[in-house]
Structure 1
């Protein structure tokens, strides 16, 4: 699949925007592409599929979309995407992350933040890793290995944004 995707999206900050994205790839949870919305040309973004309010065939239809008429639906989408606490007995998949290239104190702080959000911190780049967070002194070998495995790579500020919003801003 390729071409443009046009959709209404609500983020965790309750900001509602129409996005025009040159499609790159998607999986069951995320759409990744180059944001070409009004002045944001060239920014690689990752969007959660469950936060998409509506999809459009063209930009004119998107411009005619009235959020006020669909506000209840937007709020329902937002509320349904806020993580719920799961019981310890519930079976669920993990979200695995590895930190590399950070000073010891910074790495410990980031690991603590990740664990507070119930992410699984791995000690190396593994087959099931979803995210590699890189610091100023990151290993080129780890970055290349992660790229070869299709793992998302981000820096510290992008990781902190991800923790706050659930959105990945990759390749700024």
Structure 2
């Protein structure tokens, strides 16, 4: 069954947070009019790997339990950068997604990493990739046993922490 997912609230919140960051002395935001900034591609990859590390699916030797709260936080961090990408491309952050779980989380991570690393440099070609990334992101959330409301809650909890973090405060 298909479900319509509207994540524009993330796009709006990220725009506000980036404006906050730009106002802080000593933070130099790297803008690019025509290209997807390389920092954003790297941030997306970094957050995806942090989600992967929290799942431990590749750590066959690690028998400790997965920290579900930390995993949700990392999924929220990845979502925040998808919001940044939507802002960079000036497109809505919406998707129609099947409510399914994947049979291979490993392949899902590799596919998402591939889509991130092959983001077109030119913004005008990026919308299709973002659409695919959003669908695959939501499928990953479902496959890890969460729903989007849990991730939304984790996202806003993390944003509260970000706004009160001294490294993100003005002098």
Fold shared per TM-score above 0.5:
no
Determine which structure has more spread, i.e. the larger CA radius of gyration: 1
Higher relative contact order (CA 8 A, sep 6+): 2
> TM-score, normalized by length of structure 2?
0.23
> TM-score, normalized by length of structure 1?
0.23
